Structure 1
């Protein structure tokens, strides 16, 4: 009788779609203030809070691993983690990732320079030709910046492991400018005591939706549907906005 009950329970569990063992393991960029970082020994950040709330509503246990971004991408491509956030949608990444439909965040990308920099930018990338640029290893900055880097527009491209290292290079004069999500770069500079030592070039480059995506090594279609539903509900009932407000009071 016990064996029969266990078999029935197993079948019901499989039909429910919740067959992802103990937890779903996700990777995110470490030290990305204010979206995902460690403070007082605890994971925190806007997107950490959003992800935890979404999966709680969807009925899944989630574990977040904060790592250098290049390692996040490598891990999800190899399937050693289940998913990654937040990640832009590119043709290359779609070969190894299954994207959710609901955008996790829309990131406004812009160029940043030291406060006394003479560099100007009116949207024409040719104004930045022969300048050196600092980027984070493995990071996409959207189609415009990615294309400019690939076409060799910049004099030099210097790669860092995280946002803090990239901002430090800018402040030390090792690069002329950096592209970044505006909240990340200013929050990072604030932690370095240098919030008033950098400035944003106007206009911004572009606003780009960024997502949670899962490895293609396993089928996460059911999880994706439940995640999209829970995140959409959070946006509708105000929970999503309240999380952002907590970090920008």
Structure 2
């Protein structure tokens, strides 16, 4: 009888780690940059379309998280320097990033970007009928939020552009203010970002929006995680994304 009790005790002890592995993992730091209406703060708490979505994803994946707001350059500094248990969300696919991080499945799909034009340059910019022509105009200045990606296709077009380039590590909202103040001729901006800014920021209201037929199509956004996030964790994240992504109506 005693031998049987001892055997049952050993079996029970061996089973405990197997049933609790999901909850024994380290807390994952989820970094995000300010980008309303997708990501912003209210009373020092993260809010927004993609914040709500990523919380659902990690909850369904049974991964404990702590959220930190960080600028883009710090996020990629952390990835490149091997920060452990670290993810960021709402990022475009850039092939070079796979050397220091891993991508989830598609987390969100943006509509095509649009062009924000300064008051002083509106006639010159609107005279161009294509994006190819616009980017070949050496008399115009393109404002670029440095360290951020505009998607692989647009990144390549910006790199080959003949425009003067005004680069800044500022937030996109601040770059929009610079356009409205005629510090650059035009910039690329997410449509939902612009809709939010023109309703909520009086300092951008001098700028105008134009579209051109050869603007790149919709872009996918992803969750990016450090290399130490396990295959099992990434699988749970991806399964959760599939559930949440299908359930949302703004993709």
TM-score (norm 1): 0.83
Counterparts of residues 73-112 of structure 1 (less than 5 Å): 73-80=76-83, 82-112=86-116
Partner of 2:39: 36
Are 1:233 and 2:237 counterparts? no
In 2, the alpha carbon distance for the partners of 1:102 and 1:171 equals 33
Q: In the TM superposition, what whole-angstrom CA distance separates every residue of 1:136-173 from its partner, at most 9, and x where no partner exists?
A: 22111123331233224221232132112111111111
Partner of 2:156: 147
The size of the alignment, in residue pairs, is: 236
Residues 192/181 of structure 1: CA separation in 2 closer, same or farther (3 Å cut):
same
2:226 matched to which residue of 1? 215
**Does the aligned pair in 2 maintain the 1:107–1:209 contact within 8 Å?**
no
Paired residue secondary structure (1:101): strand
Contact kept, 8 Å, 2:107 with 2:220, in 1: the verdict is: yes
- Listed as ranges, the gaps of 5+ residues in structure 2 are 1-5
The match for 2:29 is 25
Q: Under a length normalisation based on structure 2, what TM-score does the superposition of the two structures give?
A: 0.82
| Equivalent pair of 1:35/1:47 in contact (CA under 8 Å) | yes
In structure 2, the partner of 1:167 is: 176
The alpha-carbon deviation at position 228 of structure 1 amounts to 1.8
Which moved further from structure 2: 45-54 or 2-11?
Answer: 2-11
The equivalent of 1:57 in structure 2 is 60
Confirm or deny: 8 A CA contact 2:177 2:204 kept in the other structure.
no
Q: Using the TM superposition, give the Cα deviation of residue 179 of structure 1 relative to its aligned residue in structure 2, in angstroms.
A: 0.9
Q: Determine if contact 2:28/2:86 at 8 Å carries over to the other structure.
A: yes
| Equivalent of 2:234 in 217, 224, 227 | 224
Please report how far the alpha carbon of residue 10 of structure 1 lies from its aligned counterpart in structure 2 after TM superposition: 2.9
Using the alignment, how far apart are the partners of 1:205 and 1:122 within structure 2?
15
C-alpha separation between the residues in 1 aligned to 2:223 and 2:53? 11
Q: 1:66 to 1:55 in 2, by over 3 A?
A: same
For 1:99 and 1:55, locate their aligned partners in 2 and report how far apart those are by CA, in whole Å. Answer: 15
Whole-Å Cα distance in 1 between the matches of residues 166 and 217 of structure 2? 20
**Residues 206/87 of structure 1: CA separation in 2 closer, same or farther (3 Å cut):** same
What are the ranges of 5 or more consecutive residues in structure 1 without an aligned counterpart? none
Tell whether the 8 Å contact from 2:112 to 2:216 is kept in structure 1 after alignment: yes
**Is residue 13 of structure 2 the alignment partner of residue 13 of structure 1?**
no
How far, CA to CA, are the matches of 2:153 and 2:244 in structure 1? 31
Shift in Å, 1:212: 0.5
